[in-house]
Copies of this chain bind each other. A is one copy, B any other.
Amino acid sequence: MRSHYCGLVDESMIGQTVTLCGWADVARDLGGVCFIDLRDHEGIVQVVAEPSDAQGNAAVVKAAADVGYEDCLRITGVVRARHAVNDRIRTGKVEVVATDIEVLNKAEPLPFHAHENAGEDIRLKYRYLDLRRPEMQKMMRTRIRLVQSLRRWLDARGFQDIETPILTKATPEGARDFLVPARLHPGEFYALPQSPQLFKQILMVAGFDRYYQIARCFRDEALRADRQLEFTQLDMEFAWVSERDVQDAVEGMIREVFKDVIDVELDAQFPRLTWAEAMRRFGSDKPDLRIPLELVDVAELVKDCGFKVFADAANEDGGRVAALRIPGGAALSRKQIDEYGAHAAKYGAKGLAYAKLDESGAVNSPIAKFFDESAFAALLQATGAQAGDMVFFGAGAYNKVCDFMGAVRLKAGKDFGLVESTWKPLWVTDFPMFEWDEEESRYVALHHPFTAPAIDDISELKANARIAVSRGYDMVLNGNEIGGGSIRIHRPDMQSAVFDLLGIGAQEAEAKFGFLLDALRYGAPPHGGIAFGIDRIAALMAGTESIRDVIAFPKTTTAQCLMTGAPSPVPEVQLAEVHVRAVPKATVPKD
């Protein structure tokens, strides 16, 4: 239907007749001479319809004059050099003088104009119009190139791309499952996978050696800006490996892909932090290393002070007192300081103490009064504070202090323009194996129940569960966990022991994970892997905050597709076929 793409017409074609297909991006009638900017996915070219002696020319000019926004057109014409060169577009040195204009499909008046940024709801309803915008095309195509580049790397290295089921058994990884009633088995349900975790482990037992899948995963959780009901991960697994084998391989992959897709050179060697160090220095297990601020532990200096909040935390086992110095932070107003307090409170802080050092070096701090002058000076000195700085202090339980002081660090980094414009990847390793769940008064797995502990001895693990370290690892980029993985348990006795520590009894373990335990009994090899969040990496590469910009048909935070209208009511007869009945709304309040 066409001879060339609109966006690729160039000077080499001058004098040639071309046939182009595309949309009318703009159409102007300047007193009998009409200009149409014709757009396809490659770009825009200017088409001119001007009166001449040629046969049928009047009809062409008339057709051009009738063209409206986003009409779908097929235009034949002759390429010629343009008088007024337009440097902003690739085709700016040429234009096409139309000899035929065919309207393939007339567009009705648009619900929003392609050149404005309309509200997100209307953009999602008319997603096809939104996706036509060059900005959206560019972001989506970045994602497509990311996946292509990953596959190229993986295929070249013998990773086997294997599909695992979408209709599977209820998985146990914390989040809520999506359920699918089984027509042939009344009262029974399939579940959509939260990840292919168990299948990929089984594939290692099955001898596939190296596996990957660009896998769709499903979690029925509260939606946030960066969450979708369904999301895509690059899922990988390796047999016969240690953690460094996995890490070195995928670090090389990520480096190559960033170079390939967005021409960015990442560090030749990603820095490595243990979980403990990351928490201590940055208050986060996914530290944004673009921000040159670090927490400083000051418990030793406040043990004996008169400020009970500090002294208690400093003296308690599992307490922490940490300070964060913000260079130039003395510029914060009273109101802004309160905003920091409120921000910290969102992350669990009961209060956020501070000390402000004005340009003269005078200190303004509500907690100064609890200290000897020299002790307070020593405290400030420990934080490295200088004239013009602000120091925030947090005290309380270790992980909580990390959480809110880490949040304060991020806010300060942004507010003070301290976020370097660069890419800062790192590995976080040596995660705790278990977390103690106060509410349920039992251990929960920090990664998932299939992560191997660093300790090989079962009785040692049981004796030291609280401080046991796992063989899990995360890849972090600019404050985002972009990949997470671990070496898995490959011995059935160890897997049973870990289930036991997690309060999963033998019977429950058999019912839920019997097939995994079985598989481990028949010569399962040592194995490990990782999964990368494709949506997030694509968003980072595309330079957008929202993963919705790199998903063709995303759902809203209320779990709806505004274009198709999913979810929707279903006739009773269809429900009866799959042996379920909807429970009336009145009896179940929305959450």
| Residue A325 interfacial (CB < 8 Å) | no
| Residue A417 interfacial (CB < 8 Å) | no
Instruction: Report whether A206 and B564 are in contact in the complex, using a CB–CB cutoff of 8 Å.
Output: no
Chain A 188-210 against B: per-residue CB contact (8 Å), 1 yes, 0 no? 11111000001100110111110
| Residue A155 interfacial (CB < 8 Å) | yes
Number of copies of chain A assembled together: 2
Most buried by B among A72, A188, A522, A559: A522
**Of B21, B163, B577, B588, which contacts A576 at CB under 8 A?**
B588
Instruction: Report whether A579 and B583 are in contact in the complex, using a CB–CB cutoff of 8 Å.
Output: yes
**Of B129, B160, B168, B178, which contacts A564 at CB under 8 A?**
B168
Interface hits, A197-254 → B, CB 8 Å: 198-199, 202-203, 205-209, 216, 218, 220, 229-230, 232, 239-242, 245
Chain B neighbourhood of A564, CB < 8 A: 168-169, 198, 515
**Beyond A165-B561, A167-B566, A568-B170, is A129–B216 a contact (Cβ under 8 Å)?**
no
Instruction: Report whether B189 and A570 are in contact in the complex, using a CB–CB cutoff of 8 Å.
Output: yes
Chain B neighbourhood of A209, CB < 8 A: 40-41
Chain A 121-151 against B: per-residue CB contact (8 Å), 1 yes, 0 no? 0000011111110000100110010011001
Instruction: Report whether B552 and A162 are in contact in the complex, using a CB–CB cutoff of 8 Å.
Output: yes
Chain B neighbourhood of A524, CB < 8 A: 72, 105
Residue of B with least CB distance to A575: B179
* Segment with Cβ contacts to B, from A49-57, A106-114, A277-285: A106-114
CB distance from A233 to the nearest CB of B (A): 12
Chain A 282-300 against B: per-residue CB contact (8 Å), 1 yes, 0 no? 0000000000000000000
Instruction: Report whether B523 and A105 are in contact in the complex, using a CB–CB cutoff of 8 Å.
Output: yes
CB distance from A72 to the nearest CB of B (A): 4
Instruction: Report whether B581 and A167 are in contact in the complex, using a CB–CB cutoff of 8 Å.
Output: no
CB distance from A382 to the nearest CB of B (A): 46
CB distance from A510 to the nearest CB of B (A): 11
| Residue A23 interfacial (CB < 8 Å) | yes
Instruction: Report whether A184 and B590 are in contact in the complex, using a CB–CB cutoff of 8 Å.
Output: yes
CB distance from A23 to the nearest CB of B (A): 6
Instruction: Report whether A566 and B190 are in contact in the complex, using a CB–CB cutoff of 8 Å.
Output: yes
Chain B neighbourhood of A466, CB < 8 A: none
| Residue A166 interfacial (CB < 8 Å) | yes
Chain B neighbourhood of A216, CB < 8 A: 163, 166, 216
CB distance from A229 to the nearest CB of B (A): 6
Instruction: Report whether A523 and B106 are in contact in the complex, using a CB–CB cutoff of 8 Å.
Output: yes
Residue of B with least CB distance to A159: B144
CB distance from A562 to the nearest CB of B (A): 9
| Residue A187 interfacial (CB < 8 Å) | yes
Residue of B with least CB distance to A524: B105
CB distance from A567 to the nearest CB of B (A): 4
Chain B neighbourhood of A346, CB < 8 A: none
Instruction: Report whether B567 and A164 are in contact in the complex, using a CB–CB cutoff of 8 Å.
Output: no
Give CA–CA (A179, B576) in the complex, Å.
12
Chain B neighbourhood of A555, CB < 8 A: 165, 167
Residue of B with least CB distance to A577: B176
Instruction: Report whether A583 and B577 are in contact in the complex, using a CB–CB cutoff of 8 Å.
Output: no
Instruction: Report whether B128 and A522 are in contact in the complex, using a CB–CB cutoff of 8 Å.
Output: yes
| Residue A381 interfacial (CB < 8 Å) | no
Chain B neighbourhood of A559, CB < 8 A: 182-185
Interface hits, A563-587 → B, CB 8 Å: 563-570, 574-585
Q: How many residues of A contact B (CB 8 A)?
A: 123
Instruction: Report whether A588 and B582 are in contact in the complex, using a CB–CB cutoff of 8 Å.
Output: no
Chain B neighbourhood of A131, CB < 8 A: 203, 206-208
Instruction: Report whether B128 and A188 are in contact in the complex, using a CB–CB cutoff of 8 Å.
Output: no
| Residue A161 interfacial (CB < 8 Å) | yes
Instruction: Report whether B161 and A206 are in contact in the complex, using a CB–CB cutoff of 8 Å.
Output: no
| Residue A332 interfacial (CB < 8 Å) | no
CB distance from A421 to the nearest CB of B (A): 30
**Beyond A190-B567, A525-B72, A567-B188, is A183–B220 a contact (Cβ under 8 Å)?**
yes
Instruction: Report whether B522 and A207 are in contact in the complex, using a CB–CB cutoff of 8 Å.
Output: no
Instruction: Report whether B588 and A242 are in contact in the complex, using a CB–CB cutoff of 8 Å.
Output: no
Instruction: Report whether B163 and A232 are in contact in the complex, using a CB–CB cutoff of 8 Å.
Output: yes
Instruction: Report whether B190 and A132 are in contact in the complex, using a CB–CB cutoff of 8 Å.
Output: no
CB distance from A580 to the nearest CB of B (A): 5
**Beyond A206-B127, A207-B132, is A187–B569 a contact (Cβ under 8 Å)?**
yes
**Beyond A40-B209, A207-B40, is A588–B579 a contact (Cβ under 8 Å)?**
yes
Chain B neighbourhood of A205, CB < 8 A: 128
Chain B neighbourhood of A518, CB < 8 A: 126
Give CA–CA (A126, B178) in the complex, Å.
26
Residue of B with least CB distance to A201: B128
4 smallest CB-CB distances across A and B, nearest first, come from A131-B206, A107-B523, A182-B567, A169-B566
Q: A130-B206, A167-B229, A179-B180 are in contact. List 18 more A-B contacts (CB 8 A).
A: A1-B240, A21-B240, A70-B523, A71-B523, A72-B523, A106-B523, A108-B522, A127-B202, A165-B553, A180-B180, A181-B580, A183-B220, A186-B582, A186-B585, A187-B582, A187-B585, A198-B564, A203-B552
Interchain residue pairs with CB less than 8 A apart (28): A1-B240, A1-B526, A21-B525, A23-B523, A70-B523, A72-B525, A104-B490, A104-B526, A105-B491, A106-B523, A107-B522, A108-B521, A128-B202, A130-B206, A131-B206, A162-B552, A166-B230, A167-B567, A168-B561, A168-B564, A176-B574, A183-B559, A184-B590, A185-B567, A188-B568, A199-B553, A576-B583, A579-B588
